[in-house]
Structure 1
């Protein structure tokens, strides 16, 4: 069991073909939500994906044509068009254990519907309660807020709800019920999953950049991001231009001059592919991995000590000064050198180099 899903979690290398992933809760306010394309990519790898209860139900309703499996009452309501808004399942989550701190609208609707069917309130009162609670911002719809409104609009409902929650603290929690349904269903499924839609794939350049950002590999220095290891080679290996040229030759670029080929044929390499990553890291040494890990640690320490620091904020002029020194070219030659090293110009090279600047400057200071 893992924390609420967020963008990038499905790239976890522990998720392999034949596995089943159950998506229930997810983040989407303070961090990017899991994207539809990530789920499509996961399905295409013969991973069964089930959604229920919360963002899982929402994504399953949106992606059922792609083979994502939806379960539970919340999913059914989205699939049938009874529910439409994201706010129906939104809750504020505890920063400690991700526990829900507020009531989602789907629980409000469930409890109000139960009260109406048991003649605790009438249809008019049910409508007023639901409308009043729907107007409360999701992060403010705590049980206390629910009770303040119900106490004012329907005292009989308030007393009834008190008794029901005293007997069962999960009373009316349709999301919890759906989550348990999905987990039990996943455990009972037989046979390995297959690609639900023939030809299902997602391989745009933007998607590959997302996948590359989360590609990791265990090394002697712990888990290191593959994109940073490759970036370290692009920046600091004097002969990386040869590595990149050999990589481009596989794309049919051997008939062009290197400078032209690098500028015209510049694929976004798939760093989730082990063979591609190994090809681009062909000249990487143990010392390179150690430096990459050390530079990452320098950034982490700087962020801890100085709350306002983050590598992305390092001035572009400072990064370019480092690149001119490392590549031994003048500022006018940075653009061409960047293309020859696999970057789409100096701007992309600057972005890739920023995580190494602070560590590099510390090394230079130590030498002086």
Structure 2
């Protein structure tokens, strides 16, 4: 069993997650980074990966994707399925910025549990419990801390409840922590199902261009220079291999070009590029050398060093004129020839070429300057 940080967009594309594996989704990022998409989970289910969700974004996605085969566990998931809960903020929490993954705030589902139990043991009237939940629901999730719970309780005159809650938490810091309870249930469920065969969900195949872009963007492979993004390696070949037009034509030719001229075929044939396919990547990287992989690493380090020296730097801000100048040099063509050159190298015209090249520009410029 491996424990990972809160899940985010792209994590399920990890090549170490294979058919027959079980993934338990509990917490996930959503504010400062893209959240896990539904289609990523559906893609994993379609590949024969068992996906269990509970407690937080896992419960949300499991309630939404039950019909696709995702398994939900726990009270939070059950309440989303029944409609008792319907807001994402019910499970949202804030974390510190220093890398500590522990929650700094209370999710609303925990407030509901505490208020409900408080009414049950008669330190709150039912109407007071409802009012407490209502007032805390109006607090921004990142400010919904235990201190906020206590302050609002005392402001409403619920001193007995505040004293009772403080006493219970002193005895058990996990008191009424429904997300924690559900997370533990999900882990137990995964262990209980460890010997149950996983069947790939039927009919869950995604071939949209947008989804393929996600898959390709997160495809990685272990190399002699560590784990590298496959797309970045292919991009390097598209830019720097003088014979890459022939490599791309070999790839395009396998899709029934029916005698079309190369210039036309490269523009109109959609190959549905899949960089997780070993045959495809072997063909596209046919000319790659160990030095090429070293250069991919080097250019990434140049950008990272530049960001450390100048926090405002990022490759996407490099002026387009500088990018075009680099392309005319690398491709040994004129400005007028860049568009056609881009298409024949597997790029959707000059516009995509400019975006692909930007991460390599700073390193290229420094190499040219060093050579003078």
- Residue deviations 1:77-132 (CA, integer Å, cap 9, x gap): 00111111100000001232211100000000001011111222111111111111
In structure 2, distance between residues paired with 1:365 and 1:64: 57
Q: 2:111 aligns with which of 86, 108, 111?
A: 108
Gaps of 5+ in 2: none
Other-structure match for 1:199: 203
Other-structure match for 2:15: 13
- Residue deviations 1:148-189 (CA, integer Å, cap 9, x gap): 001122111111111111111111100000000000110111
> Secondary structure in 2 aligned to 1:250?
helix
Q: 1:315 aligns with which of 294, 311, 319?
A: 319
Shift of 1:254: 4.6
In structure 2, distance between residues paired with 1:359 and 1:267: 31
In structure 2, distance between residues paired with 1:327 and 1:42: 39
Q: 1:366 aligns with which of 344, 367, 370?
A: 370
Question: Where do residues 33-72 of structure 1 align in structure 2 (5 Å cutoff)?
Answer: 33-72=35-74
Other-structure match for 2:278: 274
Q: Kindly report structure 1 stretches of 4+ aligned residues shifted beyond 6 Å.
A: none
Q: 1:129 aligns with which of 129, 132, 136?
A: 132
Other-structure match for 1:150: 153
In structure 2, distance between residues paired with 1:179 and 1:112: 21
In structure 1, distance between residues paired with 2:319 and 2:270: 26
Other-structure match for 2:334: 330
Shift of 1:301: 1.1
In structure 2, distance between residues paired with 1:222 and 1:268: 27
Aligned residues, how many? Answer: 367
> Secondary structure in 2 aligned to 1:22?
strand
- Residue deviations 1:32-89 (CA, integer Å, cap 9, x gap): 0011010001111100000000000000001111100000000000011111110000
Gaps of 5+ in 1: none
In structure 2, distance between residues paired with 1:170 and 1:325: 62
Other-structure match for 2:101: 98
Q: TM-score w.r.t. structure 2 length?
A: 0.97
Q: 2:184 aligns with which of 162, 166, 180?
A: 180
In structure 2, distance between residues paired with 1:293 and 1:252: 36
- Residue deviations 1:294-334 (CA, integer Å, cap 9, x gap): 11111111111110111111111100000011111111111
> Secondary structure in 2 aligned to 1:70?
strand
In structure 1, distance between residues paired with 2:166 and 2:336: 73
Shift of 1:267: 2.9
> Secondary structure in 1 aligned to 2:113?
helix
Q: 2:80 aligns with which of 78, 81, 85?
A: 78
Q: 2:223 aligns with which of 219, 233, 246?
A: 219
Contact 1:248/1:254 (<8 A) preserved: no
